[in-house]
Amino acid sequence: MIVYVEVEFIIQTAHSLKEKRAVLQRMITRTKQKFNVSIAEVDHQNVWQRTKLALVAVSSSKDAAEREINHALHYLQSNPSWEQLNVWRDYL
């Protein structure tokens, strides 16, 4: 089972692309280290207060993949530097 999620955030504290990328790289690196997911920025690369991340989890069962994605999303949402706007999920 493959679970694909796109999540969009607004980064209120970023006042430049450099500040945005510092927040983004820290969270992407930590998410990869803590959870069994792939994660990348897929949209808004040149906008300094928005980002869209894609996360993918692959597992033999839907429950295990969903659980890993949910843990990663919860971790991302816990960052006080940004606010979640949208989440979109797909199951393959």
Residue 75 is predicted with a pLDDT of 96
- Taking only the tens place, the pLDDT of each residue in 30-68 is 999 999 999 999 998 888 899 999 999 999 999 999 999
- Asked whether the beta carbons of 85 and 40 are under 8 A apart, the reply is no
- Kindly report the pTM of this predicted structure: 0.90
Q: How many folded domains does the chain comprise? A: 1
Structural domain range at position 34: 2-91
The pLDDT value recorded for residue 28 is: 95
- Res 9: pLDDT: 95
Residue 91 DSSP SS3: strand
Instruction: List alpha helices for the chain, DSSP H.
Output: 17-34, 62-77
Rounded to whole angstroms, the Cα distance separating 54 from 41 reads 6
The domain spanning residue 14 has which CATH number? 3.30.70.1120
